[in-house]
């Protein structure tokens, strides 16, 4: 869910079944400008008057009731996209269970610049290989003041070489495009399956949540 920064009394969000983008007026308590023609899942991001999100193999820009494709992906993504304030967007794909020769195809981190018309094919910045991250379906990305991009994958890490095993990782992508593995979860006291991504922590570093591990009900964790 996100606010319209130009119309402050309006919220935007999505539904999964049957799938829609909608806005909700907080003053009148009414739903307005629903787009039910294109099913949508995942996070919406406000950027310069439009809402941006991912829906399967496309990235879209929506200014309800209108919507257009701005990028085409080769794998599914529903985790939304992250603007850097300079016209570029970052995102994650989930990976697939059937790649070349029947082997799992890992997810990847992508980047694209907004097109002046039509849509673009994003640049792939990093392919997960299992040991450095895996299945990355839901968690949104986060960017710090220095332009580093942070994220999580709920699978992968450790000695696991497929994207569908392991307890997940936290990673960083530098402004130069270098991928850095910050932490690998064990699934024990430190947690596992970090679906929620990370955000900045006032005391320094990043903070996030993992749905597994701890006492069996997940943990909150911090990364310096």
CA-CA-CA-CA torsion sign (224, 210, 171, 140): negative
- Using alpha carbons, select from 193, 138, 147, 145 the residue that is nearest to residue 170: 193
Residue 1 has pLDDT above 70, yes or no: no
Third-level CATH fold of 2-223: Neuraminidase (2.120.10)
- Using alpha carbons, select from 148, 211, 208, 215 the residue that is nearest to residue 183: 208
Per residue in 39-92, pLDDT (tens digit) is 455 678 888 878 888 877 888 887 766 778 889 887 778 788 999 999 999 998
pTM, 2 dp? 0.82
Three-state SS for 207?
Answer: strand
Question: For residue 105, which phi and psi values (nearest 5 degrees)?
Answer: -100, 120
- Please tell me what DSSP assigns to residue 133: B
Per residue in 99-126, pLDDT (tens digit) is 555 556 678 899 999 998 889 999 999 9
Cα gap 109→101, rounded to integer Å: 23
Tokens of 157: 């890490």
* Half-sphere exposure of residue 174: CA atoms within 13 angstroms, side-chain side: 7
Domain boundaries defined on the chain: 2-223
The pLDDT of residue 3 = 44
Cα gap 134→115, rounded to integer Å: 29
The two beta strands, 142-143 and 66-77, are unpaired
- Please tell me what DSSP assigns to residue 178: -
Distance of CA 187 to the CA centre of its chain: 22
The pLDDT of residue 182 = 93
- Could you count the other beta carbons within 10 Å of the beta carbon of residue 190? 15
């Amino acid at each position: 869910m996100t606010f319209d920064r130009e119309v402050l009394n309006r919220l935007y969000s999505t539904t999964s079944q049957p799938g829609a983008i909608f806005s909700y007026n907080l003053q009148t308590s009414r739903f307005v400008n629903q787009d039910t023609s294109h099913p949508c899942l995942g996070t919406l991001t406000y950027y310069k008057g439009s809402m941006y999100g991912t829906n399967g193999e496309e990235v879209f820009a929506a200014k309800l009731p209108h919507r257009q494709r701005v990028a085409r992906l080769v794998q599914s993504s529903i985790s939304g996209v992250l603007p850097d304030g300079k016209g570029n967007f970052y995102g994650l794909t989930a990976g697939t269970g059937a790649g070349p020769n029947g082997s799992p195809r890992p997810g990847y981190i992508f980047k694209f610049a907004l097109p002046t018309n039509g849509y673009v094919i994003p640049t792939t910045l990093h392919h997960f290989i299992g040991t450095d991250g895996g299945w990355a379906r839901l968690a949104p990305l986060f960017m710090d003041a220095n332009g580093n991009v942070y994220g999580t994958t709920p699978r992968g890490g450790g000695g696991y070489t497929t994207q569908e095993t392991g307890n997940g990782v936290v990673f960083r992508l530098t402004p130069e495009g270098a991928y850095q593995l910050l932490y690998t979860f064990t699934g024990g006291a430190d947690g596992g399956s970090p679906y929620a991504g990370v955000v900045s922590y006032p005391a320094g570093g990043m903070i996030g949540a993992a749905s597994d591990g701890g006492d069996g009900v997940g943990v909150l964790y911090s990364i310096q």
